[in-house]
Amino acid sequence: MKKIPDNNTEINNTNHINVFHKQNLDFIEFWFSDKKQILPMGMMLTLDNKVIAVALDFSTNEIKQHSIDSFHLGVIVLKAIAYGIISEVWYYHSDKEMFKNSNYILPSEHPDKAEAVLYHFETKNSYKLTMWDIKRENNIQPFLVQITDDKTNELTDISSRFSGFIK
């Protein structure tokens, strides 16, 4: 006999996902204000509302990809309903044509690069990207300034090494 799905389960999952997301945002700001850096980390929320945090190693591109692939496998095996990946990143402002140009420069090597903290959050149907600039000014401790609005987007809008782990 098939069990009839409980509509409250979906509502409860949505509430748990929202709390999980908010706690991750708070964690990023708290950790950076205390440690002045962010180490790469993946967090997932399982169907039974367990939060699992995994340290990621981004020391080389090969190790970075292996670390992301291992986290991806964990999301699948543990049947996560949401996950987030946090990392410090380099970026610079450019037009989209620059990415098609054969003279493309990696953000880490660009003379106008900036440091940021990136938080990629994803569920089965949507994702959010939140970024904070890391400001280092005049001998004061570094601090974060949020530069994105944390809006929800449909998964069809993104293709990145951090996306599409939940099927």
| 2 located within any domain | no
| 151 located within any domain | yes
| 164 located within any domain | no
Structural domains in the chain (count): 1
pLDDT, tens digit (0-9, with 9 covering 90-100), for 62-109: 999 999 999 999 999 999 999 999 999 988 776 555 555 566 677 778
Hey, what are 31's tokens?
A: 């950790």
| 41 located within any domain | yes
Q: What is the pTM of this model?
A: 0.82
Report the residue count for the chain. Answer: 167
How far is Cα 41 from Cα 137, in angstroms, rounded to an integer?
A: 26
Domain limits at 57? 7-157
| 86 located within any domain | yes
pLDDT, tens digit (0-9, with 9 covering 90-100), for 24-41: 999 999 999 999 989 999
